């Protein structure tokens, strides 16, 4: 026999008394007021005794009358109820735009990033001027040596002003450029030479992260973005150097990027030190699961930053690989790869709440769709079915304003089918990328 639970209100109760902070999920009668159940709530939360009266408010700070039944206070199921000692809060002073601008302190913290940005920009101008003078008469330094000295200058500036984190990316790029120009040298600029030069640049860019980490100036987002992109470039360039085919490196980069899309959240949590709460097994001490991590908030914030950087670098490298494949090899296989990659990436983007991760995956999906459309008409007009598929994709984008609102009330079974479609699309991308990279042709050639 079912029991009606409409008279029960489930709330998140928070008690804040000075340094005392505690939170619990409670279920209380909806017809009772906060004042009627206040003593039981404070006893349940083991709140300290206070000399002032208690004050109830919502999560946004809206006061709640202690004598009003909870059902009529405007609180909904699952809302937050905060209990604090009563205090007088200053009224909000409404100012117009002129007063707000005139009261703005020029030395406020908001101007710090602007000053740091100006210092970083001026330092880069000085480094660029050094390169211009060092490679010209009378010094005539070689480009690799000049770029290497410029990288050392940037590293010295970073060590002096460790708050100029934006210069870390410039240091990595200068190291990569120095290595690439040294490998190229006076050699014939064929595909093999460029492949080894790019692989050397990527390797030096990855190695440049070490001194940045040692100095403590490696920002998590920019460092992980450049590291992920450099790893893509390094593996792709080595593949091109060994196989002599540009499509081989591009196909490897695309396959690796699509696989990494689903692995990045777990990798970011691992790098940030987040751990899944452990549950005691049979016969194990129950205290194992009762030890909270005091740094869990900091680690969670670091994990989100790492995830954003990894998605940004991975999306950039994967998009370049797709563009190279579409530019060299059109046809149905390239169109299928772009379409499947678009489906897999866009469906996965719906899982994320972070702006950088969502937009990185969204732009990657748009690039994949563009490559799919390009493959239908390049190098020549393909089969009529390819054109029809491309036209349907375009129509879906143009009518997005009509059917996108339907996604707000999507059913759980539909979500399951979308997840299955994402998995199938990702599974189809791997053999397509391997085929375009020439893996199957190489295997047949071994026989």
* Mean pLDDT along residues 221-228: 85
The string of pLDDT tens digits covering residues 247-259 is 899 999 999 999 9
pLDDT of res. 95? 55
Most confident range, picked from 15-19, 33-37, 293-297, 310-314 = 310-314
Residue 129 has pLDDT above 80, yes or no: yes
Structure token pair of residue 126:
């000085």
Q: Spell 314-333 as b/e; 16+ CB within 10 A means b.
A: bbbbbbbbbbbbbbebbbeb
pLDDT of res. 109? 47
Model confidence at 360, pLDDT cuts 50, 70, 90, reads: very high
Residue 106 has pLDDT above 90, yes or no: no
Residues of the chain above pLDDT 90, percent = 19
pLDDT of res. 170? 87
Beta-carbon neighbour count of residue 117 at 10 Å? 12
Q: Where are the alpha helices (DSSP H) in 60-185?
A: 97-102, 112-134, 143-160, 167-184
pLDDT of res. 322? 92
Question: Whole-angstrom Cα distance, residue 307 to residue 356?
Answer: 9
pLDDT of res. 295? 78
Model confidence at 108, pLDDT cuts 50, 70, 90, reads: very low
pLDDT of res. 387? 86
Phi-psi group of 331: left, alpha or beta (phi > 0 → left; psi -120 to 50 → alpha; rest → beta): left
* Mean pLDDT along residues 10-25: 87
Question: Whole-angstrom Cα distance, residue 194 to residue 330?
Answer: 24
Model confidence at 2, pLDDT cuts 50, 70, 90, reads: very low
Strands 80-85 and 54-58: antiparallel
Question: Whole-angstrom Cα distance, residue 302 to residue 273?
Answer: 9
CATH 3.40.50.720 holds for 8-85 = no
Which DSSP letter does residue 125 get? H
pLDDT of res. 105? 46
pLDDT of res. 135? 83
* Mean pLDDT along residues 93-119: 55
Beta-carbon neighbour count of residue 209 at 10 Å? 19
Q: Please, which residues have CB within 8 angstroms of residue 41's CB and are 6 or more apart in sequence?
A: 13, 15, 26, 28, 34, 83
Cβ-in-10-Å burial (0-12, 13-18, 19+) of 235 comes to middle
* Mean pLDDT along residues 371-386: 80
Task: Identify the weakest region by mean pLDDT among 174-178, 201-205, 305-309.
Answer: 201-205
What's the sign of the alpha-carbon dihedral 305, 308, 312, 318? positive
Pick 144 or 137 by higher pLDDT.
144
Q: Pick from 341, 359, 351: which is nearest to 425 by CA?
A: 341
Taking CA atoms, 300 is separated from 87, 225, 259, 274, 306, in Å, by 33, 18, 23, 7, 10
Taking CA atoms, 86 is separated from 33, 43, 46, 401, in Å, by 17, 18, 18, 49
Q: What are the beta bridge partners of residue 13?
A: 24, 81
SS (H, E, C) 314-354: HHHHHHHHHHHHHHHCCCHHHHHHHHHHHHHHHHHHCCCCC
**All structural domains of the chain with their residue ranges:** 8-85, 119-217
Question: Whole-angstrom Cα distance, residue 144 to residue 220?
Answer: 28
pLDDT of res. 252? 92
Which DSSP letter does residue 279 get? -
* Mean pLDDT along residues 382-407: 85
* Secondary structure (3-state) at 32: coil
* Cα dihedral: 28, 31, 33, 34 (round 10): 10
Residue 447 has pLDDT above 60, yes or no: no
pLDDT of res. 57? 87
Do residues 197 and 184 touch, judged by C-beta distance below 8 A?
yes
Residue 55 has pLDDT above 70, yes or no: yes
Do residues 300 and 274 touch, judged by C-beta distance below 8 A?
yes
Model confidence at 408, pLDDT cuts 50, 70, 90, reads: confident
* Mean pLDDT along residues 344-355: 88
What's the sign of the alpha-carbon dihedral 157, 158, 163, 165? positive
Q: What is the residue-averaged pLDDT of the chain?
A: 83
Question: Whole-angstrom Cα distance, residue 179 to residue 203?
Answer: 9
Looking up tokens 């009003």 gives 68
């Amino acid at each position: 026999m079912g029991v009606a639970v409409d008279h029960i209100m489930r709330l998140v109760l928070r008690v804040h008394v000075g340094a005392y902070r505690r939170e619990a999920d409670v279920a209380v009668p909806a017809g009772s007021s906060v004042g009627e159940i206040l003593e039981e709530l404070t006893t349940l939360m083991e709140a300290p005794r206070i000399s002032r009266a208690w004050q109830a408010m919502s999560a946004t700070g809206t006061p709640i009358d202690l004598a009003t039944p909870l059902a009529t206070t405007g609180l909904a199921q699952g809302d937050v109820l905060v209990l604090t000692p009563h205090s007088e809060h200053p009224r909000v002073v409404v100012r117009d735009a002129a007063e707000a601008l005139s009261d703005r302190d020029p030395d406020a913290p908001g101007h710090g990033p602007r000053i740091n940005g100006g210092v970083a920009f001026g330092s880069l101008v000085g480094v660029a001027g050094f390169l211009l003078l060092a490679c010209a008469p009378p010094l005539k330094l070689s480009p690799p040596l000049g770029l290497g000295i410029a990288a050392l200058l940037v590293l010295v500036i970073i060590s002096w002003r460790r708050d100029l984190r934006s210069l870390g990316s410039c240091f990595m790029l200068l190291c990569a450029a120095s290595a690439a120009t040294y490998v190229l040298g006076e050699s014939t600029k064929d595909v093999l030479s460029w492949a080894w030069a790019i692989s050397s640049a990527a390797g030096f860019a990855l190695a440049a992260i070490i001194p940045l980490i040692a100095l403590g100036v490696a920002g998590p987002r920019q460092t992980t973005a450049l590291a992920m992109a450099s790893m893509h470039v390094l593996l792709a360039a080595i593949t091109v150097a060994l196989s002599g085919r540009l499509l081989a490196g591009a196909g490897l980069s695309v396959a690796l990027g699509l696989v990494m899309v689903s692995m990045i959240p777990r990798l970011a949590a691992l790098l940030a030190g987040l751990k899944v709460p452990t549950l005691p097994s049979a016969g194990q001490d129950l205290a194992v699961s009762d030890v909270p991590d005091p740094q869990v908030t900091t680690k969670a914030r670091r994990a989100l930053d790492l995830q954003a950087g990894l998605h940004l670098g991975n999306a950039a490298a994967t998009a370049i690989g797709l563009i190279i494949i579409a530019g060299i090899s059109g046809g149905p296989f390239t169109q299928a790869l772009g379409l499947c990659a678009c489906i897999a990436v866009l469906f996965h983007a719906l899982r994320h709440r972070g702006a950088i991760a969502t937009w990185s995956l969204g732009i990657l999906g748009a690039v994949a769709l563009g490559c799919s459309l390009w493959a239908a008409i390049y190098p020549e007009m393909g089969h009529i079915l390819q054109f029809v598929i491309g036209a349907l994709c375009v129509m879906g984008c143009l009518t997005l304003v009509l059917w996108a609102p339907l996604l707000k009330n999507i059913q759980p079974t539909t979500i399951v089918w979308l997840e299955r479609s994402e998995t199938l699309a990702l599974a189809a991308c791997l053999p397509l990328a391997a085929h375009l990279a020439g893996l199957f042709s190489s295997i047949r050639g071994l026989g």
